[in-house]
Amino acid sequence: MKHWILWLLAGIVLIIGGIFALANPFAATLTATAIAAWSFLIGGVIQLFAAFTQEGTSNKIWSGVTGVLGILVGIALFNNPFAGIISLTMLVAIMFLVIGAAKVFVSFSLKGTQAFWPVLISGALSVILALMIFGNFPQSAATILGILLAVELISSGISLVMLSLSSKSTAAV
């Protein structure tokens, strides 16, 4: 990477953002909900626009319906962010449960390989996280999205810092 310093700075900014998110997980949860709302809204507008450029009636209808739904979900999240927090937390918990169960199931087909234990443990952790969210629902909704955002920001920041430093050392050789 020619501009390793930019990657280093980006990583540091992400780590700092993650620390702020951990310091106030409720504010980070509201931020995550706003990001989701904007994503649904912008994605919906783009899909609705794409509906007019599609060929074939079924493609137009499908793009139009999904576009309108995206816009409606985005507006709903903006209008009632607290209901959005509850909904998004429930979706995250369901996702963790389903993905975790799938990983546990798949891990047994990997028995005897090096991937067995990491996949099994990862799946078990996902299931445990889902059960922890469900076990404290809806109270967990106030902070869980913010904590997940913080973990993502910090882990992405660390990986960018490490990548930039690795790039710097290989560029110097």
- DSSP assignments along 74-133, one per residue: HHHHHH-HHHHHHHHHHHHHHHHHHHHHHHHHHHGGGTTSTTHHHHHHHHHHHHHHHHHH
Total of domains in the chain: 1
What is the distance between the alpha carbons of residues 134 and 89, in angstroms, rounded to a whole number?
9
For 56: left if phi > 0, alpha if psi spans -120 to 50, otherwise beta; the answer is left
**pLDDT by residue (tens digit) across 119-153?**
899 899 989 989 998 998 888 888 888 888 898 88
This prediction has a pTM of 0.71
- Which residues of the chain register pLDDT less than 70? 1-2, 169-173
Please tell me the predicted confidence (pLDDT) of residue 172.
Answer: 58
Contact yes or no for 127/96 (Cβ under 8 A): yes
The set of residues, in sequence order, having a beta carbon less than 8 Å from that of 21 and lying 6+ positions away, is 27, 28, 31, 146, 147, 149, 150, 153
Query: What domain range includes position 106?
Result: 4-172
Closest CA to 143 of 31, 38, 39: 31
